[in-house]
Each structure stands twice: as C-alpha cells, then as structure tokens.
Amino acid sequence: MTVAVQTQLLREAAEWRLLSLLFECPSPSWREQIEALAVEVADADLKAAVEAARREASEGLYHSIFGPGGPAPGREISYRDWAQPGYLLSELTSYYEAFAYHPDQTAIVEAPDHVSVETGFIAYLKLKEAYAEAIADDEHAVVTREAAQQFIHEHLSVMTEPLACSLEHSGVEYLALAGKALLARVGQPREKPFRQNLPVLSAVEDSEFACAEV
C-alpha cells in the first residue's frame, strides 16, 4: 500500500469524523474539536460548515432541528416505512460490536441509529482500514472496506437524501452544508425513503426519538 493511499484513507476518516461531530449536539469542547478537524480536511463544504458553526451552533438550535417534532429527524428509523425500532437497533448494535465501535462517551450519547453515530462508525472503519493496510493485513482491510460500503448502502443511504433536503431548507447554514457533504459521499437512496406530510416524527413513544437525555 502506498503512502498516498494511506493518506487518502486518513483524510476520508477525518472527513467522516467531522461530519459526525457536525451532526452532534454541541458540547463545551465541540467547537475545539471541529476546528481541529477542519485543518485536516480539504472539502470546501466541510470547511464552510465549520465556519458557519462558529456563528450559529448552539444546543437549543440543535434540538429545534433534530428534536421531537423538529423539521429534520436525525434517526434512521424516521425514514423507514416500517416501525420496528427494536430490530433496527439490534442490527446496528451487532455491526458496532463486531468492530468494537464505541461512540465518544464524553459527548451526549445518541441512539445507535442517529446520523452522528452512523457517520462516526464510517470514520472508525476508515481508520481501521488504514491501519490494516499499513501493517499489510489484507484480509482485515478488505473486510473493513466491504463493511463500510455495505453499511452505507443498507443504512446511511436510506436517510441521507431526505435528511439533506430538510437541512437545506432549515435555515441553519452549517447543518445544510453538512447535509450536502454527507449526500456527496453517500449518494442517492437505495430505496424510496419514507416521507411524512408534516415535519413531525412517526407515531411512536417520544422517548424512542429523543435525540439526547436531558
């Protein structure tokens, strides 16, 4: 594996990690983290998102967009046309456990199907692939690469297009740019996503959709 390919994988990992952070609820150290990662990426939309986040981001604004009844639900289950959260969460947890993925416990912990957790998982897989390639472990590199591709296809592709569309019209520049950058990486959905007529969440218990513990 060439140094150039290793560098590319690490750059992709940084981009996915930055996306994960942009979709997180801002915490006291959040701005410091996104600004540090912005130095490591070349993507113009991601850099612009960080600049906009400096001006706009707040916990209240985040919850008004992603919280219950908000215009852009951040959880994959919101874009499924069947309401089986237990099955979906079990499937995602199995993915995460198989690769020993544990989201940052210093941040507010979102549900396993939240866009911040799912994009963070791809960042983690990119790092694992880069490491496997660096030590010439071809088998693990292939397994990790294919897992990332499959996860994007089966999970992120379901919600990215409608989420990006909602964020584009949210009036929040940094989230609109983050949605645009995510769509550029994921592409169009593999299936027609479930769309609701009103910007509210599916009829399940509120606790199932809360984007954070308060």
List pLDDT tens digits, range 171-203: 999 999 999 999 999 997 755 544 443 333 333
Q: Model-level pTM?
A: 0.85
Rounded distance between C-alpha atoms, residue 33 and residue 160, angstroms: 23
Mean pLDDT over residues 7-16, rounded?
95
Distance of CA 162 to the CA centre of its chain: 14
- Name all domains of the chain by residue range, CATH numbers in brackets: 3-209 (1.10.3480.10)
Mean pLDDT over residues 111-120, rounded?
96
Q: Per-residue b/e over 40-57, b at no fewer than 16 CB within 10 Å?
A: ebebebbbbbbebbeebb
Rounded distance between C-alpha atoms, residue 18 and residue 46, angstroms: 8
